[in-house]
A = this chain, B = another copy of it.
Amino acid sequence: MLIRLDTTISEPLYAQIAREVCRAIMRGDVREGERLPAARELAHSLGVNIHTVLRAYADLRDAGEIELRRGRGAVVLARETLHDDVEAAVRNLLSVARRQGVELEQLHRALDEGAAE
């Protein structure tokens, strides 16, 4: 996994790392089910602190790209495809929300609240 960091730009290091790892996954450089390099290892090879890599990994986990488990590491998740009717419901929701001027972030909250009930 070849990653180059640019310390001259304002983009945070953890964001650069997350972006590059994400691209590596998209390219198929790291395949589904495979492990990413351990955080300490990648941190050392990039010359950054382990926390910076862990922050990037955590962001990728929140984005649903990878799974993190202690002792095991970071595993690339499968990007499952949605059923047609679920996809249709998503499109419908986005369409209605857009018409009403409802922000995307609010939809996420509404989903969480609705799912919690």
Contact = CB atoms under 8 A, between A and B. Distances in A.
A86 B91 contact: no
Interface of A: 63-64, 80, 82-83, 85-87, 89-94, 96-97, 100, 102, 104-112, 114-115
A10 to B, nearest CB: 14
B104 A111 contact: yes
Nearest to A104: B115
Given A94-B111, A108-B111, 6 more contacts: A87-B110, A89-B96, A90-B114, A92-B93, A94-B115, A104-B115
Contact of A89 (B82, B87, B89): B89
A93 B96 contact: no
12 contacts: A63-B109, A64-B105, A85-B100, A86-B97, A86-B102, A89-B97, A90-B93, A90-B107, A90-B111, A93-B111, A94-B111, A108-B108
Quick one: which of A80, A93, A105, A115 has the most chain B CB within 10 A? A93
Given A64-B105, A89-B89, A110 B82 contact: yes
Nearest to A98: B115
Given A108-B111, A109-B63, A93 B102 contact: no
